[in-house]
Structure 1
Amino acid sequence: MINRRQIMQATLATGILSGMGVGGARAQTRSLVFDTKNYTELTKTIQTARGDRVVAYRFYKAIPYVSAPVDIAYQSLNISVPVSIDGKPVDSSASPILFSNSVGGYMPSSVAEATGVGGAPMRGLPPMGMQPPPQAAPLTGIGAEVQSGGNAMIAGGKRVSNADLALAAGMTVVEPGARGRTLTDAAGIYYGVAPAAIVDLKAAVKYVRFNKGRIPGDTDRIVSSGTSAGGALSALLGASGDSPLFAPYLEAIGAADASDAIFAVGSWCPITDLEHADMAYEWNWGTNPLSRGSAVDQNLSAQLKSGFAAYQSSLKLKGLGGFGPLTSANYADYLLKMYLQPAATYYMSKLSSEDRAAYLAKNPHIRWKSGKASFGWSDYISHVGARKKGLPAFDAFDLSAGENNLFGRDKTKARHFTAFSQKHVTGAPEIDADIPALLNLMNPMFFIGRPDASTAERWWIRVGTKDTDTSLSVVANLAAALEANKRKVNSAMYWDAGHGANEDADSFVRWMSMASTR
Structure 2
Amino acid sequence: MGIGATAGVAAVGGIALSAQAAGSKSTSKASGALAFDPDGYTKLTTTITDAAGTEHDVTYHFWKAVTYVANPVDEAYQSLNVSVPVEIDGTAVDASGAPILFANAVGGYMPSSVADATGVGGGGMTGIPGGGAPGASASAAPSASASASASSGTGTGTGEVQSGGNAMVNGGEMVSLPKLALAAGYVVVEPGARGRTLKDSDGEYYGVAPAAIVDLKAAVRYVRANKGVIPGDTDRIVSSGVSAGGALSSLLGASGDSRIYDTYLKELGAADASDAIFATGAWCPITDLEHADGAYEWNWGSNVTASTGKVVDQTVSKALQSQFAEYQAALKLRGLDGFGPLNARNYDEYLVKQYLEPSATTYLAALSASDRATYLAANTFITWAGGKATFSWADFLTHVGARKKTTPAFDAFDLSAGENNEFGKGTTVSRHFTAYSLKSDTTGLTARRLDSDIPEMLRLMNPMYHLGKENPGRSRHWWIRLGTKDSDTSLTVSANIAAAADNLGDDVNHLYYWDEGHGSNTDPGDFIKWIAKVSGYKGKRK
Distance 1:258 1:128 in 2: 42
Structure 1 length-normalised TM: 0.88
2:276 aligned partner:
261
Partner in structure 2 of residue 37 of structure 1: 39
Letter in 2 for 1:112: A
Cα distance in structure 1, aligned partners of 2:447 and 2:330 = 24
1:248 corresponds in structure 2 to 263
Tell me the distance in 2 between the aligned counterparts of 1:490 and 1:222: 17
Q: CA 1:156/1:282 → structure 2, altered by over 3 Å: closer, same or farther?
A: closer
SS in 1 for 2:175: coil
Aligned equivalent of 1:217:
232
**Letter of the structure 2 residue corresponding to residue 436 of structure 1:** P
Letter in 2 for 1:472: L
Structure 2 unaligned spans of 5+: 1-30, 125-143, 155-166, 538-542
How many angstroms does 1:158 deviate by? 2.0
Aligned to 2:115: 112
Instruction: Quote the residue 2:504 is aligned against.
Output: 485
| Distance (whole Å) between structure 2 residues aligned to residue 451 and residue 47 of structure 1 | 40
2:304 match: 289
CA distance in 1, matches of 2:335, 2:169: 32
Counterparts of 1:278-317 in structure 2 under 5 Å?
Answer: 278-291=293-306, 292-317=308-333
Q: How do 1:45-444 and structure 2 match up within 5 A?
A: 45-50=47-52, 51-120=54-123, 126-127=151-152, 157-291=172-306, 292-425=308-441, 430-444=449-463
- Let me know the Cα RMSD of the aligned residues: 1.9
CA 1:155–1:176: 2 relative to 1, 3 Å: same
SS in 1 for 2:113: coil
Pick closer, same or farther for the CA change 1:290–1:153 going to 2, 3 Å. Answer: closer
TM-score by length of 2: 0.84
Aligned equivalents of 2:488, 2:171: Cα separation in 1: 25
Amino acid at match of 2:70: S
Q: Report the 3-state secondary structure (helix = DSSP H, G, I; strand = E; otherwise coil) of the residue aligned with 2:282.
A: strand
Aligned residue number for residue 511 of structure 1: 530
Amino acid at match of 2:288: D
Q: Residues 236 and 535 of structure 2 are in contact (CA less than 8 Å); yes or no, is this contact kept in structure 1? A: yes
In 2, Cα distance between equivalents of 1:120 and 1:516: 26
Contact 1:153 1:504 in 2 (8 A): no
SS at match of 2:270: coil
Partner of 1:149: none
Q: Distance in 1 between matches of 2:339 and 2:528?
A: 29
Once the 2 structures are TM-superposed, how far is the Cα of residue 154 of structure 1 from its aligned partner? 6.3
Render the CA deviation track for 1:280-339: whole Å, top value 9, x for unaligned. 000000011011311110111000001100000000000001000001000000000000
Matches of 1:334 and 1:155 in 2, distance apart? 26
Identity of aligned residues (%): 61
- How big is the shift at 1:119? 1.6
- Given that residues 153 and 486 in structure 2 are in contact (C-alpha distance below 8 angstroms), is that contact kept between their aligned partners in structure 1? no
Q: 2:55 & 2:269 partners in 1: Cα distance?
A: 41
Inter-partner Cα distance in structure 1 for 2:260 and 2:323: 28
1:407-456 CA deviation, whole Å, 9 max, x = no partner? 00010000000011001127986211110110010000000153555110
Alignment partners' CA distance in 2, 1:385 and 1:165: 34
Aligned with 1:44: secondary structure?
Answer: strand
Structure 1: give runs of 5+ residues left out of the alignment: 1-28, 130-151
Q: Which moved more, 1:167-176 or 1:284-293?
A: 284-293
